[in-house]
Amino acid sequence: MSFLVIFSFYSFIKHSDNNLEDHSNQLNNITIMFLLNHLHTLIISDAGIKNNIVTSITHIYVCDRPIIKTIHHMANVTSTEAKLFAIRCSINQAINLLGISKIIIITDSIHAAKKIFDSAIYLFQIYSAIISKKLGKFFLTNSDNSIAFLKCPS
């Protein structure tokens, strides 16, 4: 059985204020499209540091309904590690929802998301190994399954 694994990364490059507005409209349209289909899940993920404590927040929606909200507090980790953790946890939760075929993750951490799928980066191999195992099952379930990452500027 052969299948095509689809990961998409959509970055944002600000050239002008109109560009920011266009990107915002595009995110709104994608959000509306995804929230109308019960086979799609929308994940909004963010992490930030304040007083050396990292807080990551993830919201997962299916069909315009909030399904899961997670908040994690971590100390002694880098911002990138916290963002990777938040993304990894949200993907794990989304692929465990029955019948989900498309996942879109809106984050300000596209650079961190790309590191999950780069097994050559030694520091992040643990994230790569864990998520690869989970995603293997997700993609074997249906060859049309896909994951897209969209950057939402901070």
Ordered by where they begin, the domains of the chain are: 16-123 (3.30.420.10)
Q: In the structure encoding, which two tokens stand for residue 104, read together? A: 């879109």
**pLDDT value of position 2:** 44
The DSSP string of 13-32 is: --SSHHHHHHHHHHHHHHHH
> How many Å apart are CA 145 and CA 135, to the nearest integer?
10
Enter the pTM of the model: 0.74
Give the mean pLDDT per block of 10 residues along the chain (154 residues): 53 60 74 79 83 84 84 81 80 86 83 68 66 79 82 71
- Listing DSSP states for 50-86 in one string gives ETTEEEEEEEEEETTEEEEEEEEEEES--HHHHHHHH
Question: Across the chain, how many H-helices and E-strands are there?
Answer: 4, 6
